[in-house]
Amino acid sequence: MTITEKILAAHAGLDRVEPGQIINARVDIALGNDITAPIAIQEFRRAGAEKVFDRSRVVLVPDHFTPTKDIASAEQCRVLRNFAREQDLEHYFETGEVGVEHALLPEQGIVVPGDLVIGADSHTCTYGALGAFSTGVGSTDLAAAMVTGEVWFKVPESMKFVYTGTLGPWVEGKDLILATIGKIGVDGALYRAMEFTGPAIDALSVEGRLTMANMAIEAGGKNGIMAPDAATRAYVEGRAKRPPVYYASDPDARYADVVELDCSTLRPQVSFPHLPSNTRSIDDAGTVPIDQVVIGSCTNGRIEDLRVAARVLKGKRVHAYVRLIVIPATQEIYRQALKEGLIEIFLDAKAAVSTPTCGPCLGGYMGILAKGERAVATTNRNFVGRMGHPESEVYLSNPAVAAASAVAGRLAAPEEVGA
């Protein structure tokens, strides 16, 4: 079996599973946020439930519109707050400790290798980087899991992605996943498990792997996953709140497809509007003036990302007609950035630094685009109207390209601004 099949089989109480099989599986973590959880809570009550199946395994993270931006978002967050108090939930994060959910849960050790995780947020697939099966579900599925601790699945086929070669300067996990989506398209892995392997993956940091798994959904994937290794164990050790279980695919596991990518000549990638698959090398980007840059999100708001951005920005200033917004993904990341002097570098460059929030990624707040404006963002989606006006444009990149573009006032490689 593949690693995905092994995790699903274990949680379904079965010796083995096959692609296409319908199973009922035990859930380790059920996650909701301030957009999706209120609906789940409503359905939880409509079902007549009184108690969640396990107060330590239902996690609520109000991160999309927090600190609350208006009355509507305040009401949404109040629903979460009241439910968390009523159920005495172990993992509820209030403003001041909250972070972007898919950076927060790995950091806090709430998700561990071998887990089966569902979340009412499409980017729940992030945790596959730790060797967990994790996927997004609808709010009603979340409600059912909150009541029963179980959820049904159709076992997905698996695709294996093999990354070879050594990464060049300024090339990161974000570039590997953008290149992959550019190669196979936004439906190239539809309802399939995307298993990422190869020497280039082995050389990636855990942060880079989390970025890759995060965007499996942008290729239509059911989940993204990587077999745990020494780097995974080092990351998990000391923070895991439950004992991890380490799985790996069998040598004779069957795959629907195998895709190989040589990373040795890969340059930083940019996804042009309005699809993540509309990728090209930064060297082929041409002259694209921009108005705003956002560095952050569940894709690229970790400390490694901020360090890379600071390397490019140190001693430089953001272009006079560009707004740069930097959003550390969690309070701990913010604290570490302070200790390392990164925040000072951002402020010296005339960037605005925000408290952790999803904010502009989904067009929520903290950086909405006006008609005709263009933004470079380290986020994961660039659909029409994703960050504001339907006639605005979003270009996806890694943090180094985003920082360089903020300085140049146009899409630019780090080398172009002397980095």
Confidence (pLDDT) at 419: 81
**Collapsed DSSP state (helix, strand, coil) of residue 336:** helix
Other CB atoms within 10 Å distance of the CB of residue 197: 18
Answer whether residue 107 shows pLDDT above 90: yes
Kindly tell me if the per-residue pLDDT of 273 is higher than 90: yes
Domains delineated in the chain: 3-260 (3.30.499.10), 270-417 (3.30.499.10)
Average pLDDT score over the chain? 96
What does the pLDDT average to over 41-47?
96
Q: What is the pLDDT of residue 238?
A: 87
For the segment 359-411, what is each residue's pLDDT rounded down to a tens digit?
999 999 999 999 999 999 999 999 999 999 999 999 999 999 999 999 999 99
d(CA 4, CA 390): 38
Contact status, residue 37 vs residue 31, Cβ threshold 8 Å: no
The whole-number average pLDDT for the span 290-295 is 98
pLDDT tens-place string over residues 60-78? 999 999 899 999 999 999 9
Percent of the chain with pLDDT over 70: 100
Spatial separation of the C-alpha atoms in residues 136 and 7, rounded to whole Å = 16
Q: How far is CA 311 from the centre of its chain?
A: 23
Indicate the pLDDT class of residue 81, thresholds 50, 70 and 90.
Answer: very high
pLDDT single digits (tens) 112-129? 999 999 999 999 999 999
